[in-house]
Amino acid sequence: MIEKEPYLDSSLTIQDLAEQVKMPVKDLSALINLYMNKHFFDFINEYRIEKAKEILKDPLQKELTILEILYQVGFNSKSSFSTSFRKYTGKTPTDFRKNPN
């Protein structure tokens, strides 16, 4: 996940990820659900939010809009990005950019 960043693909499915890690979908789903206590999309969105946080903290990327960032990290809508971002950070993306601590 960290090295190849498959989560950046907005159309990523559990089937796609299972193929990439050469594991049956059922097994991958069980791993995520049982051992990480998450649903597939929550699992993927955590990686996307972490990537967005990196971009938002990066002074060299301060010209990027929130919309550009959300598409770059694999989200398809501003509302789902904002909801997920707030769920994981307690802040809106704009507030996080202003005060990342």
Q: What are the sequence ranges of the domains in the chain? A: 6-98
**HSE-CB of 44 using CA atoms within 13 angstroms:** 22
Q: Is residue 52's pLDDT more than 90?
A: yes
Q: What is the pLDDT of residues 58-83, one digit of tens each?
A: 999 999 999 999 999 999 999 999 99
Question: Of 3.40.1580.10, 1.10.150.130, 1.10.10.60, 3.40.50.20, which CATH number belongs to 6-98?
Answer: 1.10.10.60
What is the pLDDT averaged over residues 74-94? Answer: 96
Q: What is the mean pLDDT of residues 84-101?
A: 95
CA dihedral 44, 3, 77, 94 (to 10 degrees): 100
Q: Is the pLDDT of residue 101 over 90?
A: no
Average pLDDT, the chain: 96
